[in-house]
Amino acid sequence: MARKKSIYYQFSNQADNVIEDGKPLYTTIKGRWNEMYFKNNNPIVLELACGKGEYTVGLARLFPNKNFIGVDIKGDRIARGSMEAINANLTNVAFLRAGIRFLDEFFAENEVDEIWLVHPDPKVRQREENQRLTNQNFLSYYATYLKDNGIFHLKTDSPFLYDYTLSSIQEAEHYQIQQYTNDLYKSELYADHFGITTHYEKIFVQKGYTINYIKAQIKKQTP
pTM passes above 0.75: yes
Q: Are 136 and 171 in contact (CB under 8 A)?
A: yes
Question: Does residue 121 carry a catalytic annotation?
Answer: yes
Q: Are 78 and 95 in contact (CB under 8 A)?
A: yes
Q: Are 53 and 47 in contact (CB under 8 A)?
A: yes
Which residue among 16, 21, 104, 121 is the active-site one?
121
* For the chain, the helix, strand and coil percentages under 3-state DSSP, each to the nearest 5: 45, 20, 35
Alpha helix locations (H) across the chain?
Answer: 2-14, 54-62, 75-87, 136-145, 159-171, 199-206
Q: Are 94 and 56 in contact (CB under 8 A)?
A: no
Q: 39-60 in b/e burial notation, b at 16+ Cβ within 10 A? A: eeebbbbbbbbbbbbbbbbbbb
Domains and their CATH numbers in the chain: 2-218 (3.40.50.150)
pLDDT in tens, the chain (223 residues): 555 567 766 767 788 999 999 999 999 999 999 999 999 999 999 999 999 999 999 999 999 999 999 999 998 899 999 999 999 999 999 999 999 999 999 999 999 999 999 999 999 999 999 999 999 999 999 999 999 999 999 999 999 999 999 999 999 999 999 999 999 999 999 999 999 998 889 998 999 899 999 999 999 876 5
Q: How many residues does the chain have?
A: 223
